[in-house]
Structure 1
């Protein structure tokens, strides 16, 4: 094999099954690089995609006997969860116009169109299709971050995160995770990537500040700090500046600036209303701050911002409009700084979304004047951007036979940015894509989710979002082609299986079933952060070259490294990874075992008291679950449910 040219080995690899190609990588470094060829894995990803399934369906429909048409139309008239309205109309319709009289040539042409239409990568994007295949098909696992032991007499009580921010390294990978805890402290975890030579951070706690740092309370006043930290409940409440190694934390109406090196308070700025959203702190541009009724620009380099840290509400409303913009409707939830297609320059556009039904567009150069708005009709919970243009529906090669591959390639090569929004429209989830600076948009309000969307983020060649039922869903960049779905409540760590079984055995409602299996029960994902930012300055590798992560050098990034950082509604932080190996093994189970071991030496009275408290807690949980079941049942009476 070593005497054969690379082209011959690549040709042989294309005839192997996926599991054989994976084993083929273990032979030598040269075969490892060849077995991770980008073109090979692009075809493997395409073969299992929805675009290829549609193409095969169209091909089989054209080859079917005419006598089966009536039976086919009768079957498509039946309701089915896997077919969209477009699929049903296409199955009922006639055959597509043939591209050639030669059947073999027509199959090749249609496959080339389907491949070009599906390809998620853009001409200037650096995309690893081997990693894409892993993300689309490998098993999903979650490793939860350990929290510091709370400063309380209850040994089983641990803290919860009230927000999350990340610090990136020079390669745009997450290096540190920064989160405020409910006791008013700040905790930092090491989340650096694993490689073939280094073990990575594996979620170890690097540093923690004293309790009450963000709330201004004594370290022993944990209950008072907990009430302050959890009152507002803002999702975007942390902004980390990599350049200065500082971070901004929103605590009610206070903006606390912390030095991450020393974990000391630098400055405090008070706003007239509770802070509900912070933008990212990047590229030395002012941070945009949203309160219930105003939008502010915060730039500590400007002396005008530090002149008065204490500003009254009346003075703000009736004073100068230089430092703030007034909102006609309350509730901004997400603030986004639009990324420029040219990485060497900064865009001045600011997008604000929230409980109102329009996206507000500000220009930093003319702030606080409102530049324009984009009407959505939905209430948006999260925003993110793709530094690539939105492809209009008219360029869809599968749904529009008159569209050409050349026109699609030209549309992908044009400059632009796609604004992605996770929203709620009439009780259902809405995934919305807006092409900037044009007026193209797409709103998926049919198949996104049955419950409201909470978070959204780009993930390789896909888009991932979460909903109110605890689901994580991956779709293609078109916004509607489903890739896979995962529910975080279905993943139970081995150490938690026995505890989960005990809860399921006792938690029954009026439906005589486990309350944890009912819709709306369990944990949800409030924020999603990819462990690697999308870099637009990298050039896509030429066709036929090996993938990005297949360099035969001694230090290669481990593909089993976590890919997504999750912050849940219960205040947990987890790293989602792919493969049979867990993202990282924490010490929570070890700490619980040590706590139980310490309890052996306790007195009989203390153990009896602890058992009584646990039994009382379980009884109250069952009572609340039954009450929730009754509320759900009564709510649907007379409504046709």
Structure 2
């Protein structure tokens, strides 16, 4: 084997199952490179994709007897079938033009068309398809950052995060840090440094915390007052971090605080006449866009006049300030998006929220409105992908008339895809807009049964969260489903009594909201720890500090104020820190006194017995309800 060229080794690997190929990588350094060959894993990822499944189904349908058309029509007419219009057409026996009369050549051609149509990568993008395969099929694990304890006696022991942002290191593969304000008015910073071959420290450690009440200006002992002030507005996009200057901007009610993250000192405070509801990203080259309940402002930290701590009165703002502002016809901006500097139109500002249109401003001529895009939905989050949106008309699988050359030309164009997580008539709406030429696509059928809360690019996929606690991954077309994970899912308990209790907790007598389906926690913000898919390339072979292959994790901020890291594979996403935490929890559990455990078990058994008795009584009430009421005297 050592004398064989890599081409022969790759051909041998094509006959092995995926688990065997993964184990093959650990044999020696010689086999690591062919075991992670990008072309090989691209083929494997496509083989397990929905596009290939559709192609195989179409091939089987074409090979079936024509007399099965009635059975196919009956299947297509079943209620609740999760089929697209194209799928129904295929089930009803629609034929496609054949490229060749030879069945083998026809199957090879159709497979190649499906592969070209499915490929998520763009010509100038380097996707790691081994990591893509891991993210699509490996087990999902979540690790939660340890928030400081609340020493007050009238509230919970755990503090809540009221916002979150990531402090990126400008160096390649540098440390990543999480910055979050807490409901006691303090600011905390955690370490999320990726594990590498030279560093085995697990991320998730708390690095620093400011004094309580720093953002509210209240006493550290005023716990209740701090909590009310920090949670009154409830804005999701309330933290912006400039990684180049190590500055953080925190919106709290109608104030914008600038904090030096290196020293954790308050630099300046800017007052606005209405509560701040959204902040844009912060960079050292462009001003920050601030959305209040009724206005949109530009805040340039480089200008000393913007850093004035004197508040502006509402009358001055309405009558006209020295620095212009945009007045909104409808209140409630929730998301603001800036184009990156690689985009030809980097001065564009997009504002969306509770109103049903996306507003486009030009920073050079602010506050003049450049244009609008009518959505009809209420948008909670905006994100972007630095690649053009491919029209569904160019889908080579669903549209046999589309050509490969037209799809290739569309992929080579310059453009940006703006993504929006929205709610339309009570259901989730995933919306994609191709820019600069507006090409809208709105998935309001299969995105979610509840409103969408956040959306972000994740490798060659798009990930979004909904109001039921689900995280869903779809292809970049915004439609093809990849996988789903619910943050409220817990592994089955090994304790029989506990399992019985969980199984019976959904009755009419259940009093715990978290035990009810759909009543658990939600993810209100998703942040990729390695945000740009184009910058997270395969590590070079001559790198002395090679990054682990599975480090494109997601930072989650839940509705309960918890911060977590979602990772893939059997290893804990927080590395050794998470494993040590799990080990300490196990030791503490084993160290409990036997008397205390017996008492808890007795209480559990009593609760189960009372629950069963009440449920039997409720069943009897339902059974006899209405008996003897059928006869009515005329």
Matched residue, 2:625: none
- 1:205-284 matches, cutoff 5 A: 205-284=206-285
Moved more, 90-99 or 180-189: 90-99
Structure 1 gaps, min length 5: 541-547, 601-606, 627-641
1:360-417: per-residue Cα shift (whole Å, max 9, x none)? 0011000011110010000000010000000012211112111111110110010000
Residue 13 of structure 1 aligns with which residue?
Answer: 13
Looking at structure 2, the residues matched to 45 and 459 of structure 1 have their Cα atoms a distance apart, in angstroms, of: 16
Post-superposition Cα deviations, 1:143-193, rounded to whole Å, max 9, x if no partner, equal 000011223247970111000011112237761000000100000000010
Q: Which moved more, 1:57-66 or 1:548-557?
A: 548-557
Q: Which residue of 2 is the match for residue 565 of structure 1?
A: 555
Q: Distance in 2 between matches of 1:472 and 1:319?
A: 44
Does 511-520 or 364-373 show the bigger shift?
511-520
- Distance (whole Å) between structure 2 residues aligned to residue 393 and residue 502 of structure 1: 48
- C-alpha change, 1:529 and 1:245, in structure 2 (3 Å) is same
Give the Cα separation in 1 of the matches to 2:398 and 2:131. 28
Q: CA RMSD in A?
A: 3.0
Instruction: Say if 1:126 and 1:174 are closer, same or farther in 2 by CA, change over 3 A.
Output: farther
User: Could you tell me how far apart the structure 1 residues matched to 2:89 and 2:399 are?
Assistant: 14
Compute the displacement of 1:555 (Å).
Answer: 3.2
Q: Is the CA contact 1:331–1:355 (under 8 Å) kept in the aligned structure 2?
A: yes
**Inter-CA distance 249–502: structure 2 relative to 1 (3 Å threshold):** farther
Structure 1 position 390 matched with structure 2 position 389: yes
- The answer for the alignment partner of 1:161 in structure 2 is 161
Alpha-carbon distance, 1:589 to partner = 6.6
Distance 1:335 1:52 in 2: 37
1:104 and 1:505, CA in 2 relative to 1: closer, same or farther beyond 3 A? closer
1:35-67: CA deviation from partner (whole Å, max 9, x where unpaired): 100000001100111100111111111111122
Number of aligned residues: 596
Distance 1:529 1:590 in 2: 28
Question: Taking structure 1 as reference, are residues 522 and 287 closer, same or farther at Cα in structure 2, changes over 3 Å only?
Answer: same
| 1:44 to 2:44 alignment | yes
Looking at structure 2, the residues matched to 279 and 172 of structure 1 have their Cα atoms a distance apart, in angstroms, of 25
1:290-369 aligned at under 5 Å gives the runs 290-306=291-307, 309-320=310-321, 322-341=323-342, 347-369=346-368
Taking the aligned partners of 2:496 and 2:264, their CA distance within structure 1 comes to 39
Q: Is the CA contact 1:32–1:552 (under 8 Å) kept in the aligned structure 2?
A: no
Indicate conservation of the 8 Å contact 2:185/2:227, yes or no: yes
Which residue is 2:132 aligned to? 132
* Aligned partners of 2:249 and 2:259 also within 8 Å: yes
> 1:74 aligns to what SS in structure 2?
helix
Distance 1:174 1:471, change over 3 A: farther
CA distance in 1, matches of 2:99, 2:204: 55
1:277 aligns to what SS in structure 2? strand
Q: How does 1:168-179 map to 2 (within 5 A)?
A: 168-169=168-169, 170-171=171-172, 175-179=176-180
Structure 2, unmatched stretches of 5+, are 616-634
Q: For residue 320 of structure 1, report the CA deviation from its aligned partner.
A: 3.3
Residue aligning to 2:482:
483
- Report SS of the residue matched to 1:490: coil
Structure-2 separation of matches of 1:385 and 1:237: 19
User: In the aligned structure 2, how far is the partner of 1:348 from the partner of 1:502?
Assistant: 59
Checking the alignment, whether the CA contact within 8 Å between 1:474 and 1:484 is kept in structure 2 is yes
Alignment correspondent of 1:555: 545
Moved more, 62-71 or 154-163: 154-163
**Which residue is 2:531 aligned to?**
533
Mapped contact 1:333–1:380 kept (Cα < 8 A): yes
TM superposition score normalised by structure 2:
0.88
For the residues of structure 1 that align with 2:34 and 2:142, how far apart are their CA atoms? Answer: 31
Q: Distance in 2 between matches of 1:502 and 1:261?
A: 51
SS in 1 for 2:408: helix
Give the C-alpha shift of residue 13 in structure 1.
1.4
The match for 1:575 is 565
Return closer, same or farther for 1:20/1:553 CA change in 2, 3 Å cut-off: farther
Equivalent residue of 1:212, what SS? coil
- What is residue 466 of structure 1 aligned with on the other side? 465
Which residue, 521, 524, 529 being the options, matches 1:523?
521
Which string of whole-angstrom CA distances, capped at 9 and with x for unpartnered residues, describes residues 332-356 of structure 1? 00101022445xx771111001000
Cα distance, 1:510 vs structure 2: 2.3
- Helix, strand or coil: the match of 2:488? helix
Tell me how far apart the structure 2 counterparts of residues 14 and 594 of structure 1 sit (CA, whole Å).
45
Q: CA deviation at 1:583?
A: 0.8
The offset of 1:202, in angstroms, is: 1.4
Aligned to 1:439: 438
> Contact conserved, 1:147 with 1:158, CA < 8 A, in 2?
yes
Partner of 1:285 in structure 2?
286
**Corresponding residue for 1:631?**
none
Contact kept? 1:321, 1:368, Cα under 8 Å: no
Q: Does the residue aligned with 1:489 lie in a helix, a strand or coil?
A: coil
Does the 8 Å contact 1:173/1:532 carry over to 2? no
SS of equivalent to 1:351: strand
Distance 1:79 1:579 in 2: 36
Q: 2:142 touches 2:566 (CA, 8 Å); kept in 1?
A: yes
> Would the alpha carbon gap of residues 201 and 242 (structure 1) be closer, same or farther in structure 2, given more than 3 Å must change?
farther
1:496-516, Cα deviation, whole Å (9 max, x unpaired) = x99986984895552779854
TM-score (normalizing by structure 1): 0.87
Say if 1:555 and 1:301 are closer, same or farther in 2 by CA, change over 3 A: closer
Q: Could you say which residue in structure 2 is the equivalent of 1:407?
A: 406
